[in-house]
Structure formats: structure tokens, C-alpha cells
Amino acid sequence: MTTHRELPEETLDALVEVLDEIRTHPARSRAEIVQARGLSRAVVAQRVQELLDRGLIELGAAGRSTGGRAPRLLRFRRDAGHLLVADLGATSIDVAVADLGGRILAHHEEPADIADGPQAVLGRVAELFHEVLAATPGLTSDLWGIGVGVPGPVEFETRQTVAPPIMPGWDGFPVGDYFAERFDVPVWVDNDVNVMALGELRAGVARGHRTVVFVKIGTGIGAGLVVGGSLHRGAQGSAGDVGHIKVTDDPAVVCRCGKRGCLEALAGGDAIARDGRLAAESGRSPLLAELLDSEGVITAAGVAWAAGRGDPASAELIRRAGALVGEMLSTTVHVLNPSLVVIGGGMSAAGDDLLAAIREVVYGRSLPLATRDLTIQRSALGHRAGVVGAATMVIDGLFSRDRIGRWIARGAPDATT
Amino acid sequence: MTTHRELPEETLDALVEVLDEIRTHPARSRAEIVQARGLSRAVVAQRVQELLDRGLIELGAAGRSTGGRAPRLLRFRRDAGHLLVADLGATSIDVAVADLGGRILAHHEEPADIADGPQAVLGRVAELFHEVLAATPGLTSDLWGIGVGVPGPVEFETRQTVAPPIMPGWDGFPVGDYFAERFDVPVWVDNDVNVMALGELRAGVARGHRTVVFVKIGTGIGAGLVVGGSLHRGAQGSAGDVGHIKVTDDPAVVCRCGKRGCLEALAGGDAIARDGRLAAESGRSPLLAELLDSEGVITAAGVAWAAGRGDPASAELIRRAGALVGEMLSTTVHVLNPSLVVIGGGMSAAGDDLLAAIREVVYGRSLPLATRDLTIQRSALGHRAGVVGAATMVIDGLFSRDRIGRWIARGAPDATT
């Protein structure tokens, strides 16, 4: 474990602390770092010089004087490098270029079908990476890393997809290696809901929360969990797999995972679309019938749109899905006692019916202590949650203690993860 | 935050690392500490001297020579102080004396009724603390801390019980202050299942696991969660409150918490005892009828005993309770993806029927990825899990980074928590 390390732990710890303090603020003086982190002046001075030498920070404007000469403020060089990120959905690809501060510099979105398999989908992502890079104005820095969110379970350490129910052909596919070989930079891959939860934690509504449940309601249903201020992936990376929690004993409800009674089979986007089509064909919803006539298809987004236009049958479908998600969340709230539940994914844009139904069940069903200070709200990042979260994942990885230790030992960032 | 601190963070970090390394091994040389923790030789030498000066460690036997004079090994002085711990159940009190390594030096158990209220119950605990101290042979060290587990929700920071459903009179009672005033040492108080989970994590079957669900099946049902290697208490300390998860839509199932359909109302010890009495009175179980005749009462332990003797009606009650606990655990496993589930509490001693029923449902119901490497087993510490866990809680607190920082600043341990 320590054989290749050339820095004593205490020196590396201090370097990471100093960099974190500067990275997470617009600007910082040496005195502020000493104060905030409790490090000694000498240690801060040495680590700051090291970070200046490596081009990770720069001297900014003069700060406030406390007597003598005003100190120069230190700033993180978010433009010292850039990142490529992709958010793969069941039916879409989002790619973006981000800076080292997680700001999105360019963004492209297009429809796709995850069922086309990894070669086709990842091949298209690689093309889009080149295109979006070419389309980003004024980009002169080096590419430092790649982050990818995929709509199924991922073994985080090996960066492979694992037994994904809606992703035929993806089982065991080395998504991380695929991009590492083509772009020669470190690559991080995670489940899309974990990535989105991370985005909300660092840059969205979950900032400052320690225990958060982020639920994505899209084609499928899944959750990303923040526990103790960090993402919780579980023993096999399948934590938050809430779409396959049993919510009914009805044996007729068969899920695509092969089990019976799963939440996703009743409240996921596919289920809502299916029930919407039935409402259109049976005449229960004239508005959905019109939509089916004109579009030839009923999607979950179409049902949400009709609910927003006052269609009673559609509103009922959305409310029923919300109530079922609420049942699952009530259980999850009893288990984890979060301070915040965030509702994201395509269906979260479905007007207020869904959120109202979820809230009603969770607050009605749970013990007072667990919901006393519980907030349930919509994702702040919306459809950008995936790419913002993927950039966050890469930045967390690049500036992690272990990786910085390896940079220092080798003298430069390296392409292994 | 840093105004009273006299040590720079890097010095305190190193001190905690050195002490942890020595505390968690039978003996350690300075070279082993340098190797294991990646600290520099000079830093280790300074921190070791400080710990020797304060009497927290001592020089032991000579270690293995690597050329020159054989180095003296360093040992933690587990007898430098002692602890008092109590595990309050719904129907029992356990008290014990432990050393600073968590070894139980003396243990006393007696029946009690938590519903007698805090003054009566805690007054008896204080008496028992004095008695068990007097009964511990050869105790010459000082009392360093007290740990208490209570069978209901606790706000960990304030050490108060909160809205406990089975504990009338306990809401908002300052359990921590009660003992701190009487014994003038730091006191830690937590929910009994959290305490037990901590005991299993440090000294039981959960050693080395990062994600663990410890389920206590006793009068009530609750869970202690280990996430990322640490206890997860949740935003209000109510994480793991799984006894009140809804497991049936049957409106006739009313729980003592006031809600309907709770797991505890069907599978807790009180529910099993009630159903066992019905089986005795209806003639479905001749063995339970005999037991009722001779004892005048049917307890959950009585039903478990009858099941172990081959009584079909009792075995069916135990299996049904196990299946319901399994349903809850299947959901919890989907949420958290633990590597280990531990079954503890009074009912866990109920033979193999309960464990078999739990396993059948969890493995049958959950997705393969979540259960691929999942182990479900019985508590190793059994009825001592509470006192061992309470000692662990106190030790974790006494040797935490924050508290050691305060010792160093003041020159001595202090009684505030």
C-alpha cells in the first residue's frame, strides 16, 4: 500500500487540504487557509508554493490588509485543464465539455437507444466527444479526464456495467477501458443516478446535506444515496436499486427484471406510457386519444403533458405512480432518515401532480421523527443533472487524496484510474 | 472552530493515527507504524513519546530485530482506565465494567420494565453501576466514561431520548446529563440497535465489513446501520427505524406507534406472544396450552421454545415472523446493498426456523447482484452485544480526534462529551 508513495502521509494530507480550501472558494489568502484548516503557517506556505509551481493555483487580486502589505489571494486555475462527460439514458445521449471547476462549457444532446449495445452507443459518444470539443470556443488546455453515467448498475472499481436489465449486450462491458484507450486520460464510470446525486450534492439542491435520497423517475426508477456526505454505492455497487422493491402482491405485475410486483413495473415511464395508451384506446382519455392519433405513440412525457392540460385520466395515472413512489420512499426514509429527498429524471418535469402525490404518501405514512425536518423537492439541475454530476465525479476523482499522491510521486497526472 | 485548539491539525492527525495503530493491534514497533500509516519517522517518534508521557501506551517486549538492536514494542494500556456501560431493554437491564480495550470485566443482568420511567430505571442503573464496580476484582484505575444503550430513538448529540413509542415518560429525558452529573465523566447514549451494530462491527461478526444491517428482533424490531464503515444515524437519529415499515394493507393491523400495517405489529415479540396465546387458547397448540397452564403467560421466547420442541403451530408463527422480517430486509438490501445482515435480539436465539425463513425471502426476492455476496447470519455477541457495543461506543468517543485534541489542549481528559 505504501511502497510507491514518496510523500509522508502528513505532507500529502496537508496538500489536499490546502488545494480543497482554494478549489472550493472563489479566492483564499494563506491566513484564511491557516484559520479554516487549522494547519500551521509553515505547512501552508510550503504547500501553496508546490501548488503554484504545478500550475494548479495562481495569484489573484490583493486581499484585505490586516495591518501590513495586503496579501495576494490564491485562486484555483479551473481552466488549467478540461473534462469530457457523457450521460447515457435509456433513450438519449448527453455529452458536454466542462472545466476543472465543473462549469459546463459546451453541451450536446441527441436521441439514442441504449439497447443498440455498447459498441454502437459508445462509438457515437466518442464521435460526439470530438465534435463537442471542436465546438467549444477558446479551449487551449489539455484534456484531464472523462466521466460517464450509464442507466444501469456499474461496478465502480472496474468501471464495467453489471447485469443491466434494460441494457442487452452491456453485461460486463469495460466502459472505462473503452474511453481510456481512445483518449489516454483517466476515466470514471458510474450509474446515472449516482452521478446525478453527486451533481445535486456539489452543485444543486443537496449542497450541505449529509443524508440525501435522489430518485430518478424515467424509463426506469432508481435512487442515488448520499450517506455521511458521500455517495453510498453499496457492497456490489447496487445500492439505491429501488425500482425493484416489491410494492404489490398482484402476481400479474411482472417486471422486465423477471421478478413480480416491482415498483418500476407499475410506476416507471414504460408503465405510465402503457397505461396511457390503454386510456387512449379505451376512450377514457380523449386528449390521449388525440395525441395517439397525431403522434402514433403515447410516451410517459405525453401522459405528463396531458395531465398538465387537465386530462383527468392522465392526472390519475401520474398520481398513482407518485403514490407508489411515495410508498417506496416512505420505506427508504424509515431506513435512512435523510434530510432531503430529490425527485429527478424525465418524469420529475411532469407538473406538480407527481410531487404532490409523493409528498402526501411520505408525510402521511412515516413516523413524525423521520419527517420532522425532511424536505422533498425537485432536482435543481433538471436535465443537466447527469453531465454536471459526471463532471463532479471526475473532479472528485482527479483531486482525491490517492490520485494527488500519485501525481506528486510521478511529477504529472497519469491516465490510470 | 479553531479558536481553542492549540495543536496544528497535522500534529493532532498524526497523534490519532499513531494511537489508533497501537490501540488496534496487540503490539506495534515504531517502524511498523511508519510503514502502516505512511507517517515520517520523526513524526512517529515525537507522537510515541507524547503517548508514553501521558501513560496511554507502554513499552512491551522486544520485537524482531532487522539488523541492529531489537526494537521495543509499544502496547496500548487498556488498563489505564475503565468504563461503565448499560444496555437497557424493554424488559431488562444489563450493566458491565469494561477496560479501555472493550473487554468486559464484570457483568450483571436483571429484569426491569422500561415503562417504569427514567427516574426509576436510571436510578436502578446508577445503583447497579456502584455494585458492579465493587464486584470487579483488582480495579485500581479511574473511571473514564459511561455508555448507555436505550430501546428507542436517541438524539445522539444531546444524549436525550426522543418520542419513544414504548417508553412513556422518556420523551426528551436527558439520559446523558443524568449520569454525567452523578459520575463526573463523559457519557455517550444511543439507541440500543446502533450500540449493538457498533459492537458487532468492532468485536463481532461484522469486523471488516463496510455496509452492514444489524436487525434486532425483540419486543420491538429495529435496525442499526453501518455505512462506509461507520454507524449511520440519519438526520434525526431515526435511521434504521424499520419496525414501522408498512408490510400489509390490512387495516386491522394497528401498531402501538399509531400507524397501520407496521412490521413490528405483526412480527415483533409482543405480536408473537399474542398469537402464541391465541394458539394455546384455541387448542391449535397443545404444547403452548401446557405452557400457559404452568407459567400463566405466553412470551415470544416461549413460542420460540415450543417451535424448537417441534410444535407445528409455534414453528408456523416463527416462520411467518421471519418471512415478514425477510420482506423488510429485501427492501433494505435493495436500498443499501450491504455485504452482511446480522440478526440479533431476543428472538434471534429462536432456533433455525427464524433465520431460515428470513433467508428464504431475502434470497428469493432480491436481484442477484444485491445478494451475490450477501451473508445473513446470527449475532456473534448474542445477549452481550449491548454491553460490548456500549463499551465500543465509549472507546470510539474517548479516542476520537476531537476529544484527543481537547485532552491535549487541557492536559487531561475532561467530563464533557
Say how far apart CA A41 and CA A34 lie, in whole Å.
6
Q: What is the pLDDT of residue B2?
A: 35
Using DSSP bridges, classify how beta strands A340-344 and A375-378 pair: parallel, antiparallel or unpaired: parallel
A47 touches chain B (CB under 8 A): no
- What average pLDDT does the segment A227-242 reach? 91
Shortest CA gap B228–chain A (Å): 7
- What average pLDDT does the segment B234-244 reach? 89
Asked if B210 and A235 come within 8 Å (Cβ–Cβ), the reply is yes
Say how far apart CA A90 and CA A111 lie, in whole Å.
9
Residue B410's pLDDT band (boundaries 50, 70, 90)? low
**Inter-residue contact B215 to B240 (CB < 8 Å):** no
Contacts of B245 in chain A (CB under 8 A): 330-331, 334-335
Q: ipTM score of the complex?
A: 0.83
- What average pLDDT does the segment A129-143 reach? 92
B241 touches chain A (CB under 8 A): yes
The partner residue sitting opposite A334, judged by closest CB among B9, B237, B242, is B242
pLDDT tens column, A31-62: 999 999 888 899 999 999 989 988 899 998 77
**Inter-residue contact A84 to A183 (CB < 8 Å):** yes
A228 touches chain B (CB under 8 A): yes
**Inter-residue contact B315 to B356 (CB < 8 Å):** no
A164 touches chain B (CB under 8 A): no
Q: What is the pLDDT of residue B188?
A: 97
Q: Which of residues 314-333 of A touch B (CB under 8 A)?
A: 327, 330-332
A9 touches chain B (CB under 8 A): yes
Helix axes B269-281, B312-336, angle to 10 degrees: 160
- What average pLDDT does the segment A256-278 reach? 91
Q: Which three cell numbers stand for residue A173?
A: 462491458
Shortest CA gap A332–chain B (Å): 7
Q: What is the pLDDT of residue B166?
A: 67
Asked if A35 and B2 come within 8 Å (Cβ–Cβ), the reply is yes
Shortest CA gap A334–chain B (Å): 5
**Inter-residue contact B332 to B242 (CB < 8 Å):** yes
**Inter-residue contact A81 to A56 (CB < 8 Å):** no
Contacts of A368 in chain B (CB under 8 A): 163
Find which of A1, A226, A238, A332 to mutate to test the B interface (most B CBs within 10 Å of its CB).
A238
Contacts of B157 in chain A (CB under 8 A): none
Determine whether B259 is exposed, middle or buried from the number of CB atoms within 10 Å of its CB (0-12, 13-18, 19+). middle
Residue-averaged pLDDT of chain B: 89
Asked if pLDDT for residue A1 goes beyond 50, the answer is no
Contacts of A335 in chain B (CB under 8 A): 223, 225, 239-242, 245, 331-332, 335-336
φ, ψ of residue A339 to 5 degrees: the values are -95, -15
Say how far apart CA B306 and CA B323 lie, in whole Å.
19
φ, ψ of residue A259 to 5 degrees: the values are -90, 170
**Inter-residue contact A392 to A214 (CB < 8 Å):** no
- What average pLDDT does the segment A281-303 reach? 94
- Is the CA virtual torsion A382, A386, A392, A395 positive or negative? negative
pLDDT tens column, B264-307: 999 999 999 999 999 999 999 999 999 999 999 999 989 998 99
- What average pLDDT does the segment B124-153 reach? 93
Q: What is the pLDDT of residue A413?
A: 58
A230 sits in which H/E element: strand A230-232
**Inter-residue contact B58 to B73 (CB < 8 Å):** no
Asked if B244 and A367 come within 8 Å (Cβ–Cβ), the reply is yes
Q: What is the pLDDT of residue B257?
A: 80
- What average pLDDT does the segment A398-402 reach? 88
Maximum Cα–Cα distance across chain A? 81
Q: Residues of B153-188 as b/e, b for ≥16 C-beta within 10 angstroms? A: bbbbebbbbbbbbbbeebeebbbbebbbeebebbbb
Residue A262 gets which letter from DSSP?
B
Q: What is the pLDDT of residue B95?
A: 98
**CA R_g for chain A:** 24
- Is the CA virtual torsion B152, B157, B160, B162 positive or negative? negative
Asked if pLDDT for residue B149 goes beyond 50, the answer is yes
Residue B6's pLDDT band (boundaries 50, 70, 90)? low
Beta-bridge partners for A104: A98
Q: Which three cell numbers stand for residue A226?
A: 448520499
Asked if pLDDT for residue A64 goes beyond 80, the answer is no
**Inter-residue contact B260 to B251 (CB < 8 Å):** yes
Q: What is the pLDDT of residue B414?
A: 54
A251 touches chain B (CB under 8 A): no
**CA R_g for chain B:** 24
Quote the pTM value.
0.87
Q: What is the pLDDT of residue A417?
A: 47
Beta-bridge partners for B178: none
pLDDT tens column, B9-56: 778 888 999 999 999 888 999 999 999 988 889 999 999 998 998 889
Numbers of helices and strands, H then E, in chain A: 15, 14
Q: How many CB pairs under 8 A join A and B?
A: 180
Residue A251's pLDDT band (boundaries 50, 70, 90)? confident
Asked if A338 and B234 come within 8 Å (Cβ–Cβ), the reply is yes
B90 touches chain A (CB under 8 A): no
User: Which of A155, A151, A116, A273 is closest to A221 using CA atoms?
Assistant: A151
Shortest CA gap A97–chain B (Å): 32
- What average pLDDT does the segment A390-416 reach? 79
Find which of B9, B330, B334 to mutate to test the A interface (most A CBs within 10 Å of its CB).
B334
Find which of B2, B236, B245, B330 to mutate to test the A interface (most A CBs within 10 Å of its CB).
B236
Q: What is the pLDDT of residue B5?
A: 44
B39 touches chain A (CB under 8 A): yes
Residue A335's pLDDT band (boundaries 50, 70, 90)? very high
Q: From the CB of residue A125, how many other CB atoms can be counted at a distance below 10 Å?
A: 23
A45 touches chain B (CB under 8 A): no
B384 touches chain A (CB under 8 A): no
User: Which of A30, A85, A84, A31 is closest to A52 using CA atoms?
Assistant: A30
- What average pLDDT does the segment A274-302 reach? 94
Residue A414's pLDDT band (boundaries 50, 70, 90)? low
Contacts of B9 in chain A (CB under 8 A): 17, 37-39
Say how far apart CA A148 and CA A229 lie, in whole Å.
22
Cell 424488559: give the residue: B91
Q: Which of residues 128-157 of A touch B (CB under 8 A)?
A: 153
User: Which of B366, B330, B332, B370 is closest to A258 using CA atoms?
Assistant: B366
Q: Which residue of A has its CA nearest to B40?
A: A8
Say how far apart CA A191 and CA A203 lie, in whole Å.
18
B365 sits in which H/E element: helix B351-365
Contacts of B337 in chain A (CB under 8 A): 233-241
pLDDT tens column, B71-116: 789 999 999 999 999 999 888 999 999 999 999 999 999 999 999 9
A220 touches chain B (CB under 8 A): no
Q: What is the pLDDT of residue A6?
A: 58
